[in-house]
């Protein structure tokens, strides 16, 4: 079986769901990773989230909805192709080529899309 890793640089966008002010955070993200560390790497959150009360600065992003985006090439022959997500946070939605593929209603730790 041939595998293609999608680990690496992704685009991360976030929007406050509680306040529709039109502001969207648009930053570079590392996958695997997490939103808080990506915000820290971009200087939006403190560099060392694990010192003192620095992690409290992340509280203001609790009402945000986040999108990870990645463009990648897919083999032309699409027989038995799986898209595997591991360690995904709760209530994810997956889009492939702009079309919603799966919506989960519980916390997912491992997801395979066919």
For 12-25, the pLDDT digits (tens) are 999 999 988 889 99
Strand intervals (E) in the chain: 8-16, 24-31, 64-69, 83-86, 93-96, 99-103, 110-113
Contact, 54 vs 48, CB < 8 A?
yes
CATH class of domain segment(s) 1-73: mainly beta
Burial label, 29 (beta-carbon count in 10 A; 0-12, 13-18, 19+): buried
Indicate the range of 52-56, 70-74, 81-85, 106-110 predicted with least confidence. 106-110
Give the residue-averaged pLDDT of 21-41: 94
CA dihedral over 94, 63, 28, 40, signed as positive or negative: negative
Q: Each residue of 72-107: pLDDT tens digit?
A: 887 776 677 777 777 777 777 888 888 887 655 444
Task: Supply 89's token pair.
Answer: 């946070």
* Distance in angstroms (rounded) separating the CA atoms of residues 31 and 52: 26
Structural domain boundaries in the chain? 1-73, 81-114
Contact, 24 vs 15, CB < 8 A?
yes
Task: Supply 54's token pair.
Answer: 């620095």
Q: What is the pLDDT of residue 110?
A: 52
pTM: 0.79
């Amino acid at each position: 079986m041939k595998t293609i890793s999608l680990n690496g640089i992704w685009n991360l966008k976030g929007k406050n769901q509680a306040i529709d002010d039109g502001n969207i955070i648009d930053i570079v993200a590392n996958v695997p990773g997490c939103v808080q560390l990506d915000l820290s790497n971009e200087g939006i959150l403190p560099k060392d989230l694990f010192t003192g009360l620095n992690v409290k600065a992340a509280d203001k992003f609790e009402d945000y909805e986040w999108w990870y985006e990645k463009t990648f090439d897919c083999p032309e022959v699409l027989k038995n192709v799986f898209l595997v997500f591991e360690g995904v946070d709760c209530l994810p939605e997956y889009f492939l080529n702009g079309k919603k593929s799966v919506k989960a209603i519980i916390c997912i730790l491992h997801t395979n899309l066919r």
